[in-house]
Amino acid sequence: MHRWSKLFIPTLREAPADAEVASHRFLIRSGYIRQLGAGIYNYLFLGQRAINKIIGIVREEMDQIGQEFYLPALLPKEPWEQSGRWTGMGDNMFRLKDRKGAELCLGMTHEEIMTTIAKNELRSYKQLPQIWYQIQTKFRDEPRPKSGLLRVRQFTMKDAYSFDIDKAGLDKSFELHDAVYRKIFSRCGLKFVAVEADSGSMGGSQSQEFMVYTDAGEDLIASCPVCGYAANTEKATSLLAPVTEMEPTGDGKPELVFTPGCGAIADVAAFFKISPASDIKCVAYMALKRGAAGKPDSWHGVAAFLRGDHQVNETKLLGAMGASELRTMQAEELTQYLNGPAGFLGPVGVTPEAKPLESGLTVVVDSSLEDRKNMVCGANKLDYHLRNVTPGRDFSWTLTADIRTVNEGESCPKNGCGGKLVVGKAVEIGHIFKLGYKYSESMGARVLDVNGKEVTPIMGSYGIGIERILTAAVEQSNDKNGFWLPASIAPFTVVVTVTNMTDALLKETGETLAAELEAAGLDVLLDDRDERAGVKFKDADLIGIPYRINVGKKTAEGKVELVTRATSTSVDVELSEVVALVRKRVEEDALVMAVGE
């Protein structure tokens, strides 16, 4: 039995001033965690207990479909060089040298290592499929750690990797993970949503994120309340209403117009008395292209053109070109590639490359411009714009693609749905991903198929952020006094609060009750501290335990109070019945979570 008086649970009346996000404040105030450095945290007793419960659930469910491994966190350079990620991971990778000068890194993910095992050990299609997973500490040199445990440099991840003989097999492995992830998050009591996600430049074909809505989140999710469509805004699409406003003037040729000081979209729209939707915005970037095998990386000029009222979606833009990084152009580069100043850039007169990322300028035009006529755009000349510009007739491009970010209120992209998209902030707790052949190919994993022919296994990778489950749970269930966790992941299921330890009856009753609860299989914390009742109540409310039993005033009559933290409601219960009642409550909670999503 755990006696509070003997434990280290350093609760704080006030949170550090720099903790802003609810989960950050409460995890510190409740004594779950303490900060050691930027994005580096100590997990104390309660925090580690909660983490262990989460890991228990993850492990139990993952064991239904896969096999647990444990790979090193300290990794040699070679596998990363083979996959091209030694450079590809850039500054996000922690690197170090050993005493001999050999280069190593701290693992931020383990595709390379798992694939190395596959390459060395798998020989035949008969050994497939395989699903291997581990629960491991990951290290990422985040440019900006923030929000407590939400974005850190060291964290725990459950990462899984599947190896299949063909695409159908991968689909199956993907489906298995999807189902298991839903079970895991449900059991953890999270209200989550599965969304379509960007598969990045890593060559994947399908990617799905599991998200929990919270203002502390860093992702934006677009969803349709009508049909259930949901996607990360990095990936989301929408249907646009046609632009109905009158075109500026007939179908004339481009006309140079003096537009002094109109460097911003709003100025241009006001000047021409058009909506920003009829203006062509230009965003100029330098894009990084990773050099193929042995060749160096290179930077290329890119001009993205889209409607004035739209925002460039850099993830989509990268994907459209096959580039791996973007930065905005400097003034000299604007002159070099577009021969124009910022604020007055336009597509007319520029010479697009035939293929993306060649020596000249790659011109990417958003699909929404394709059928437009008589628009306004910058003239690549200070204080001048062009009107009556028609895409295709007056300028050409390297490629068109969907490169804009959807906005709330636009129409759902699903056929005939008609719903209006809503956009909300969310935190990513899991991600499942069809990798394809990228790693098995580059690292040379091969097996023989039925015909004795060498084939490359197809892979998937699947991650869950362990601490983020805890963080998301705190984010979704807190009030001014603290937070509450579902019994499945709470460090304790019930706290027995003895309101006055100097009262022999209360003390004795609390001891006995705690022992009975424990005998009934519940994780019980006995608050036997020599503190005033108020202090104990405040602490109990703070630290996330879902149920509390007060042994106090009514105990002389054979009764105790059962307090449900989530609702702050309490009922008087006969002492002889309280153990059964708590068990019943916990079981009911679990049932609700099992169906819930």
Residues lying near RNA in the complex (CB under 7 A): 11-18, 20-21, 24, 29, 35, 37-39, 92, 109, 140, 142-147, 151-152, 155, 157, 200, 209, 218-219, 314-315, 326-327, 428-431, 463-465, 467-468, 481, 499-500, 502, 532-535, 537-539, 541-542, 550, 552-555, 561, 563, 570
Q: Write b or e for each residue in 422-452: b if 16 or more Cβ atoms lie within 10 A of its Cβ, otherwise e.
A: ebbebbbbbbbbbbbebbbbbbebbbeeeee
Q: How far is the CB of 542 from RNA (least distance, A)?
A: 5
The two beta strands, 130-139 and 154-164, are antiparallel
Question: Could you give the CA distance from residue 136 to residue 159 in angstroms, rounded to a whole number?
Answer: 8
CB 563 within 8 A of CB 40: no
540 and 532 Cβ atoms separated by less than 8 Å: no
Contact 542, 481 (CB under 8 A): yes
Burial class of residue 553, CB neighbours in 10 A (0-12, 13-18, 19+): middle
Q: Which is nearer to RNA, 319 or 486 (CB)?
A: 319
Query: How near is the Cβ of 21 to RNA at its closest, in Å?
Result: 7
CA 560 to chain centre: 43
Comparing CB distances to RNA, the nearer of 96 and 354 is: 96
Nearer of residues 37 and 596 to RNA, judged by Cβ: 37
Shortest Å distance, C-beta 197 to RNA: 8
Place of tokens 């050994």: 127
484/41 Cα distance (integer angstroms): 21
Nearer to RNA, 22 or 447 (CB): 22
Compute the least distance from the CB of residue 369 to RNA, in Å.
22
Provide, rounded to whole angstroms, the least separation between the CB of residue 168 and RNA: 25
- Please count the other Cβ atoms lying within 10 Å of the Cβ belonging to residue 402: 20
For residue 183, the minimal CB distance to RNA (Å) is 17
CB of 431 to RNA, least distance (A): 4
Helix-strand-coil percent breakdown of the chain, rounded to 5?
30, 30, 40
CA distance 71 to 89: 19
Query: 3-state class of 226 per DSSP?
Result: coil
Helix (H, G, I), strand (E, B) or coil at 406: coil
Residue nearer to RNA on the CB measure, 121 or 479: 479
Whichever of 30 and 237 has its CB closer to RNA, that residue is 30
CB nearer to RNA: give 234 or 394.
234
Nearer to RNA, 165 or 323 (CB): 323
By C-beta, is 24 or 289 nearer to RNA? Answer: 24
CB neighbourhood size of 337 (10 A): 23
CB of 298 to RNA, least distance (A): 18
Closest CB 139 distance from RNA, rounded Å: 10
Residue with tokens 């481009």: 254
